[in-house]
Amino acid sequence: MAKKKFSKNWVHQHINDPYVKQAQQKGYRARAAFKLLELLDTEKLLRKGDVVVDLGSSPGSWSQVVRERLVGSGGVIEGRIIALDLLPMEPIAGVEFLQGDFRDDAVLHQLEGMLGGAPVDLVISDMAPNLSGVSSADSARIHHVCELAMEFALAHLKPEGALIVKAFHGSGFSQIVEMFKRHFKRVVERKPKASRDKSSETFLVARGLKD
């Protein structure tokens, strides 16, 4: 019974969520679009001509935001967007999509093949592991996902490039921040307005590779 009540509350919150309404009005596939918009604006990231890799992209709202920012005159994308997710994603014009598990080496090689050696300006990751509710196991999974995104960024970013990842406050969070600080010149924590107050999610923005 409690579960039913919880799901009713969630539906009520969701329907009355201003970001859900705005997403519907603007044609974004998820309210998460507004998190990325705020991060890009606050950090002054993403310019026409950039090469962007979107990890954990489905349903596609982050790729939609990036596409909007890269579209030039005549509706042509100036730059490149490569998106990857374990789940399928409805096509977005001009976005190259690869379905597969980022933790799988074969999928990673495919993604690298799509890049064809082109250096990347921005890596964005909204990836989140399936959480079990066991804090020690969950913090290890979150750390692993953040580490994978970071390793990919270190291998492919331009020296002045940037990485945005979703992490979660709690056990292991400070270790993730420290790990990022070892490799990037600037690391900041951001909690966008569209991120629900009750959520422990916090986005890390890392910029400029250390030599």
Active site residues: 166
User: Residue 179: enclosing H or E segment and its boundaries?
Assistant: helix 173-183
Give me the residue label for tokens 């920012």. 69
Q: What are phi and psi of 14, to 5 degrees?
A: -65, -45
Distance (Å, rounded) from C-alpha 78 to C-alpha 179? 33
Residues 15, 16, 22, 23, CA torsion sign: negative
Rounded CA-CA distance 207/164 in Å is: 9
